[in-house]
Amino acid sequence: GAGVSQSPSNKVTEKGKDVELRCDPISGHTALYWYRQSLGQGLEFLIYFQGNSAPDKSGLPSDRFSAERTGGSVSTLTIQRTQQEDSAVYLCASSFRDRSYGYTFGSGTRLTVV
């Protein structure tokens, strides 16, 4: 596609529920990243995918967070048993080959846990 597409754009969920956030990267971009942006905070790295290699999960804050990338394209970030501190904007970005090319970001999913 022309840009990085994220859905939904907004999600309100009850504490304890599971949520899935979707990212559709730019066609041909092999690298895909998830970041979290909390109010007043910078961007916090969550996970990195490169092609069909094993992902770098070093930024995932707890085992309630997981992500997958199917067919080297679409990615889903899943948060189980959501907590109020999970409320944030979740940003997906893709890059042609690697970080040296810079990222192209999606518009994000604003998650609110009530």
Partner 1 sequence: AQSVTQLGSHVSVSEGALVLLRCNYSSSVPPYLFWYVQYPNQGLQLLLKYTTGATLVKGINGFEAEFKKSETSFHLTKPSAHMSDAAEYFCALPSGFQKLVFGTGTRLLVSP
Which chain residues interact with partner 1 by CB under 8 A? 4, 6, 31, 33, 35, 41-43, 45, 48, 50, 56, 58-59, 91, 93, 98-100, 102-108
What's the CA gap between 33 and 111, in Å, rounded?
18
CB of 16 vs partner 1, minimal distance in Å: 27
Minimum gap (Å) between residue 34 Cβ and partner 1: 11
Nearer to partner 1, 77 or 108 (CB): 108
Taken in order 112, 74, 60, 18, the sign of the CA dihedral is: positive
Instruction: Quote the least distance from Cβ 50 to partner 1, whole Å.
Output: 7
Residue (16 or 102) nearer to partner 1, CB: 102
- Minimum distance, C-beta of residue 81 to partner 1, in the bound complex (Å): 27
Q: Let me know: does 49 contact 69? Beta carbons within 8 Å.
A: yes
Instruction: Give the residues across from 12 on adjacent strands.
Output: 112
Complex with partner 1: residue 19 or 31, whichever CB lies closer: 31
Q: Is the Cβ of residue 33 or residue 65 nearer to partner 1 in the bound state?
A: 33
Quickly list H helices, the chain.
none
